Amino acid sequence: MRDYQAFLAAAAALLGERGLTTDPDLVGPWLTDWRGRFTGRALALASPADTAEVAALVKLCGEFAVPIVPQGGNSGMCGGATPDDSGTALVLSLRRMNKVRAFDPAAHQITCEAGLVLQTLHETAEREGLRFPLTLGGKGSATVGGLISTNAGGTQVLRHGSMRAAVLGIEAVLADGSVFEALVPLKKDNRGFDLKQLLIGSEGTLGIVTAATLRLVPAVAERRVIWAGVGSLHAARKLLLHCEAAAGDALEGFEVMPQVTLDDVLHQLPTARAPLASPHEWHTLIELVAGPGGEERLGEVAETMLESAFEAGLLDDAVVSANETQAEAFWLIRDSIAAAERAKGPAVQHDISVPVAQMPAFVETAVPLVEAAFQGTEALAFGHLGDGNVHFHVIAPAGVDPAEWYAGEGKAISARVYDLVTQWHGSISAEHGIGQLKLGELERLGDPVHLALMRQVKQALDPQGLLNPGKLVPLASPADSF
């Protein structure tokens, strides 16, 4: 039997009044994920002030066998930061640790604590003519630690990679309370296993990220956003290859959506206008970006790229943003898809990837297959074609009871989609992670050798199983349950 009272007393002594609370009004908001899918209970909410406090707290949790649920902005998509309903876990918030420790604009590097909010990071970089090349809808709440722990994606992965590519150094507290320090970025270092990589994307199951050194890039001096209509997703893929060859590193985004999705958005956003005069089977949103000094050339690159695409018959119609207002109007359409679809009724959403070259064929196979198997549903794919990552949404038939549908047909649809994507050598989680939402599916569909290896690593680094239990790492069997 764990002595929770003794633990709480020791934790309170360690962290002080600002650092620990059991007040339900203060703890409550952090027990449900932002999408409202998961609600748990917790012993308390800890908000340590620095890495030393995190380390001491983790050590204490080890002594009392108290599970730890690390939490950043609590805006993840898979319930990875929500405790289970046992009430035995401590929610460890990193939000108080939000300092910028060092900023070297000349070297394009910033070292900050895990609780720094993405929006603040953007603003900090901008003040020095730089930018952090990753953004996403939850930027007002998402923290650096959460972005690292989930290896977050977004719309700039095509050019800049996922969060992993932006992390130059890391500091983390391990399960035994020791501090893994690798913040000083060395461009070359071959002194052994790249342990930093193991912590990135591990959703707090191997260690708690407390700080990071991140890579910045020059601010955007000029951009061109192009909206182009094409006849099929295959045609979109051909256009992507053309843009990659013609624009090179200037190509920062390549998003796709079908006409029906565009219609849904226009229906929901009465002030928005269709970018092109007539309908097209598929629409592509292409962003070209230039840093300081590249402004003039960018217009030329965009023009040449589009002209040659027209000549080669790679697109049916296209328009280039004439100014920032228009560029933002194009992106507003893209960013409003999720809301527009929510308005259509209950839907199951799948963040999946397959090899980029396979994506058109996959979507053309999966859409009719799902719609035929589940009568009355509507399947839609949109998103980051350049990354081989689409968001595959299936909207419920009209008139269903939402709760009943989610629990029944919705689950069956998701299983079918994940079966299919696995057959296509793809991923059941492209950018949102596993958390608790997809743990069962990962266990069901994951490669046994990969899962065994994950368990071995987890067991080695967290033998007590106290770091974010029930997330990401499928257990070997229920008997192994922590």
Please state the closest distance from residue 300 (CB atom) to a second copy, in A. 10
Which of 121/430 has CB closer to a second copy?
430
Q: Is there binding between residue 469 and a second copy (CB under 8 A)?
A: no
* 428 part of the interface to a second copy, by CB under 8 A: yes
Q: Which of 6, 100, 453, 476 binds a second copy (CB under 8 A)?
A: 453
Task: Determine the Cα–Cα distance for residues 327 and 329; give it in Å rounded to an integer.
Answer: 5
Window 357-376: residues binding a second copy (CB under 8 A): 357
Residue 123, both tokens: 């603003």
Q: How far is the CB of 156 from a second copy (least distance, A)?
A: 12
With binding defined as CB under 8 A, does residue 442 bind a second copy?
A: yes
Dihedral sign, CA of 267, 271, 275, 276? positive
| Window contacting a second copy (CB under 8 A); options: 9-17, 39-47, 134-142, 380-388 | 380-388
Using rule CB under 8 A, residue 246 touches a second copy: yes
Contact flag: residue 307 with a second copy (CB under 8 A): no
Query: Per rule CB under 8 A, is residue 130 in the interface with a second copy?
Result: no
**Whose Cβ is closer to a second copy: residue 106's or residue 322's?**
106
Phi, psi values for residue 7, rounded to 5°: -60, -50
Give the one residue of 44, 112, 298, 461 binding a second copy; rule: CB under 8 A: 461
Residue among 116 and 247 whose Cβ is closer to a second copy: 247
Cβ 437 to a second copy shortest distance, Å: 12
Q: Which residues contact 153 (CB under 8 A, 6 or more apart)?
A: 134, 136, 162, 163, 384, 387, 389, 430, 431
Q: Does 473 bind a second copy (CB under 8 A)?
A: yes
Binding-site member from 460, 476, 481, 482 for a second copy (CB under 8 A): 460
The β-bridge relationship of strands 130-131 and 251-258 is: unpaired
Tell me if 95 contacts a second copy by CB under 8 A. no
Per CB under 8 A, contacts with a second copy among 160-219 are 162, 164, 174, 178-182, 184-195, 197-198, 200-202, 206
Judged by CB under 8 A, how many residues of this single chain contact a second copy?
78
Q: How far is the CB of 240 from a second copy (least distance, A)?
A: 11
Least distance from a second copy to the Cβ atom of residue 323, Å: 25
The residue behind tokens 């591990």 is 202
According to CB under 8 A, which one of 62, 146, 291, 346 is a site residue for a second copy?
A: 291
Binding of residue 146 to a second copy (CB under 8 A): no
- Rounded Cα gap, residues 30 and 36, in angstroms: 11
Q: Is 75 in the site for a second copy (CB under 8 A)?
A: no
Nearest approach in angstroms of CB 461 to a second copy is 6
What single letter denotes the amino acid at residue 95?
R
Asked if 277 touches a second copy (CB under 8 A), the answer is: no
CB-nearer residue toward a second copy: 275 or 386:
386
Q: Per rule CB under 8 A, is residue 311 in the interface with a second copy?
A: no
Q: Which of 56-64, 87-95, 278-286, 455-463 is the region at the interface with a second copy (rule: CB under 8 A)?
A: 455-463
Cβ atoms < 10 Å from Cβ of 238: 18
The only residue of 26, 100, 452, 476 in contact with a second copy, by rule CB under 8 A: 452
Binding of residue 339 to a second copy (CB under 8 A): no
Which of 453, 455, 448, 449 has its CA nearest to residue 474? 455
Taking residue 120's Cβ as centre, other Cβ atoms within 10 Å add up to 17
